[in-house]
């Protein structure tokens, strides 16, 4: 299923393309197809236009099909990888579309993007009798970037789930549980005074230390050292076999922040 704010065929800039635009990789939590640049955003319409037969090819690049991507100033070359090419690089199935290179429009000049990319392709194909754009395709660094994005978004998804469980338990004092692929996470909030509250989080299953860190970092404003392991149980929760329980105190400010975030998402 594709999220409402995502597209089925995102068009990602390669590292080479980002460098052409004077950009660096954004934080891993940001999808490259969402980079805030006019050319990258314009490129997102290329797959749909190509399916409708309304996209223009870069005719000078003959070793594979490249499509033109244009804004008022910027120019780019977009291609779609075949299934075998996706597998060769080790990319996920939805990483087929890429902006391989970019530049600016300088009509009549050798520095014009489409003129310069043709010259570059001829140079890379020297000795073969044909231009070559293989160097513009995604490389291992582009694959690693996707892997980092997937990992970062998985962390955010787990933390969002934990926060939602905490918000629910804050409202009624009941325990709430979520089942993940390898873990079962349960959250319980119990009032400890008129203002502060105990927060207990238990995890069971194949619980790796890094997963514990991700779960505990879900709660805003709580330093790592403020979490206490509870091998004997806490707040009426007795650990079962294979279950790990951690607890902390959450202040009224933190409680309000969690509830406000949960309410806004609802």
What pLDDT, on a 0 to 100 scale, did the predictor assign at position 165? Answer: 93
Residue 3 pLDDT greater than 80, yes or no: no
Residue 147 lies in a domain: no
Q: What is the pLDDT of residues 64-102, one digit of tens each?
A: 999 999 999 999 999 999 999 999 999 999 999 999 999
Give the pLDDT mean for 42-57: 95
Poorest-pLDDT segment among 8-17, 110-119, 203-212: 203-212
- The helix (run of H) or strand (run of E) holding residue 246 is strand 243-250
Least confident of 18-22, 202-206, 214-218, 244-248: 202-206
On the question of pLDDT at 264 being above 60, the answer is no
- Are residues 195 and 130 part of one domain? no
67 vs 79: CA distance, rounded Å: 6
Nearest to 136 by CA among 6, 17, 53, 1: 17
Predicted pLDDT of residue 198: 87
Q: Using alpha carbons, select from 179, 160, 176, 131 the residue that is nearest to residue 218.
A: 160
- Whether 37 is in a domain gets the answer yes
DSSP 64: S
Q: Which domain holds residue 81?
A: 11-138
Reported as a pLDDT band with limits 50, 70 and 90, residue 245 is: confident
Give the pLDDT confidence score for residue 4 in this predicted structure: 40
Asked if residue 77 lies in contact with residue 100, where contact means CB atoms within 8 angstroms, the answer is yes
In a shared domain, residues 126 and 160: no
Could you tell me if 159 and 153 are in contact, meaning their C-beta atoms sit under 8 angstroms apart? no
Q: Are residues 16 and 118 in the same domain?
A: yes
Q: Are residues 113 and 166 in the same domain?
A: no
Please state, in angstroms and as integers, the Cα–Cα distance from residue 244 to each residue in 114, 208, 210, 239, 241, following that order.
Answer: 59, 11, 14, 7, 9
Above 60 in pLDDT, residue 236?
no
DSSP 62-112: -SS--EEEE-SSEEEEEEE--HHHHHHHT--TT--EEEEEEEE--TTSTTS
User: Domain boundary at 89, 108, 138, which?
Assistant: 138
Same domain membership, residue 163 and residue 123: no
Tell whether the model's pLDDT for residue 265 goes beyond 60.
Answer: no
Q: Within this chain, do residues 15 and 133 fall inside the same structural domain, yes or no? A: yes
Please give the pLDDT value at position 241. 59
Q: Are residues 200 and 231 in the same domain?
A: yes
Strands 228-229 and 197-205: unpaired
Residue 119 structure tokens: 């010259």
- Asked if 82 and 170 sit in the same domain, the reply is no
If you ran DSSP here, which 8-state letter would residue 106 be given? -
Structure tokens at 110: 């050798």
Q: What is the pLDDT of residue 111?
A: 86
pLDDT at 202: 87
81 shares a domain with 24: yes
**pLDDT per residue as tens digits for the range 130-153:** 999 999 999 999 999 999 999 999
Q: What's the residue count for the chain?
A: 266
Task: Identify whether 6 is part of a domain.
Answer: no
**26 & 103 share domain:** yes
Cβ 250 vs Cβ 222: under 8 Å: yes
pLDDT for position 27: 94
Domain count, the chain: 2
Domain identity same for 102 and 186 = no
109: Cβ contacts below 8 Å, ≥ 6 apart? 115
One domain for residues 125 and 17: yes
For residue 2, tell me if it sits in a domain: no
Which residues are paired to 98 by β-bridges? 12, 79
């Amino acid at each position: 299923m594709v999220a409402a704010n995502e597209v089925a065929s995102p068009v990602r800039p390669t590292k080479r393309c980002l460098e052409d635009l004077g950009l660096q990789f954004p934080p891993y939590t940001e999808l490259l197809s969402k980079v805030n640049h006019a050319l990258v955003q314009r490129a997102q319409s290329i797959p749909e236009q190509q399916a409708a037969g309304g996209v223009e090819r870069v005719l000078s690049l003959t070793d594979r099909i490249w499509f033109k991507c244009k804004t008022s100033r910027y120019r780019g070359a977009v291609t779609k990888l075949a299934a075998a090419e996706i597998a060769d690089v080790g990319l996920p199935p939805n990483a087929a579309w890429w902006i391989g290179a970019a530049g600016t429009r300088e009509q009549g000049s050798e520095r014009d993007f489409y003129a310069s990319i043709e010259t570059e392709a001829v140079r890379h194909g020297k000795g073969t009798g044909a231009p070559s754009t293989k160097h513009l395709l995604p490389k291992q660094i582009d694959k690693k970037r996707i892997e980092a994005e997937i990992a970062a978004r998985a962390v955010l998804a787990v933390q969002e789930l934990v926060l939602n469980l905490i918000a629910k338990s804050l409202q009624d004092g009941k325990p709430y549980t979520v089942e993940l692929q390898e873990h079962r996470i349960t959250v319980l909030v119990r009032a400890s005074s008129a203002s502060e509250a105990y927060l207990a989080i238990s995890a069971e299953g194949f619980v790796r230390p890094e997963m514990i860190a991700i779960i505990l970092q879900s709660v805003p404003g709580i330093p790592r050292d403020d979490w206490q392991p509870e091998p004997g149980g806490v707040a009426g929760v007795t650990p079962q076999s294979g279950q790990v329980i951690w607890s902390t105190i959450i202040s009224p400010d933190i409680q309000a922040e969690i509830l406000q975030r949960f309410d806004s998402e609802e």
